[in-house]
Amino acid sequence: MTVHLLKLCVGIDSVEHLIEVRRGRQQTLPDGTPYNYHITRFTPKRAEDVLDGGSLYWVIKGFILVRQRIIGFEPVKTDNGTKCKIILDTELIRTESQPRRPHQGWRYLEPADAPKDIPDGGKVEDLPTDLRQDLQELGLI
């Protein structure tokens, strides 16, 4: 049964900012597939369910706005012990805006509770910058 992860996107101001940061973290799997990653403290106990089509839903400024498909998990050694590297597809898929309260770490997100994808990526590039920022602050885009 598929389940998703929900994570706060700390230090990110907008979906565009996340895209920019993710571009700088792109790596390549041994088979040549590009991927992004995020390091977190714990590996999900329901990893098998997450890998069955799950995504990482990003909360930006108090709203779920975008998701990335989860490709895999791998342990990674750090100065603070072994952590979990969440391997993500490079494509960011915009979702309907959904408010979320702050929390630490990640949370499971059941498919029934996940926001729907916005068709065609919800492109808002043609909006004036001020209007786009106001709509983002309201969680409307």
Per-residue pLDDT tens for 76-110? Answer: 999 999 999 999 999 999 999 899 999 898 999 99
* Residues 48-72 pLDDT 10s: 999 999 999 999 999 999 999 999 9
Cβ neighbors of 124 (< 8 A, separation 6 or more) are 132, 135, 141
Tell which residue, 77, 93, 107, 114, has the closest CA to residue 6: 107
What pLDDT sits at residue 24?
79
Share of the chain above pLDDT 70, in %: 89
Kindly state the tokens that stand for 85: 């590297």
Which of 74-78, 123-127, 133-137 is predicted least confidently? 123-127
Cα–Cα distances in angstroms (integers) from residue 91 to residues 29, 94, 121, 128, in the given order: 15, 10, 10, 25
**Whole-number pLDDT of residue 121:** 55
